Structure 1
C-alpha cells in the first residue's frame, strides 16, 4: 500500500480557501483606512500585509511543513528587528536638524503661520 498518495481534490480546496482569504484581506486593505482603525492606518496595513505574506509563503510557496526554513525565517526576522531598533534608537538620539525638519518644526510654528517657499539648494 502506497502511503505517499496525495488527494489533489482536498489540496485544491485548501488553495481556494487561501485564495478567498487573500482576496478578502485585499478588500480589507482598501476599506480599512475609511472604516476602522483610522488613527493607526500604517499599523493596520502592515499587519494585513504580514498575514497575506504568511499565507502566500506557507501555502503557495509550499513551506508549510518545512521546520528548518521556518526557524531560519523567524531568526532572520528577529535579527533584522534588533538591528532596526538599534539603528533607529541611535538615529533618534543623535538627530541634529530638528529646526529644519518638516516633522519637528511644525510643532514650533503657530497654527496660522504662513510658510515661505524654501530657498534653492
Structure 2
C-alpha cells in the first residue's frame, strides 16, 4: 500500500495528489477484492468488476456498506489471518448497537500516527 505522510503530500501538485489518490484506490480495491469475503460477495452480487474501479469517478459504481453489514458480517471484513489481530475496539453504541472492529499492528500504528497529528 502507498503511504504518504501529510507533510509530503502537502507540497504535491493537484495532479500528483490525484495520482496518489487513484493509485491508493486501485490498491485498496484490489486488496479487499482478494482478501475480504464480505467484499468478494458484495462485488459479485452487485456485478462489479473490482478491476474496473480505476479512478475516483468510478466510486459511484461501488455498492454501499452499512453499519448493519459491519455488525452482521463482521468477521467477513477481516482481510488478514485472525492471528494478526492485535486488538478489538468496540464503538460506544450511542446511535444504536455497538460495533466491534478488529485491528492489526499496522492499524494501531496508523491510529497512533493520526493521533500524533492532532
Give TM-score scaled by structure 2 length. 0.29
Higher normalized strand content (fraction of residues): 2
Q: Which has the higher contact order (CA 8 A, sep 6+)?
A: 2
Higher normalized helix content (fraction of residues): 1
Larger radius of gyration: 1
Give TM-score scaled by structure 1 length. 0.28
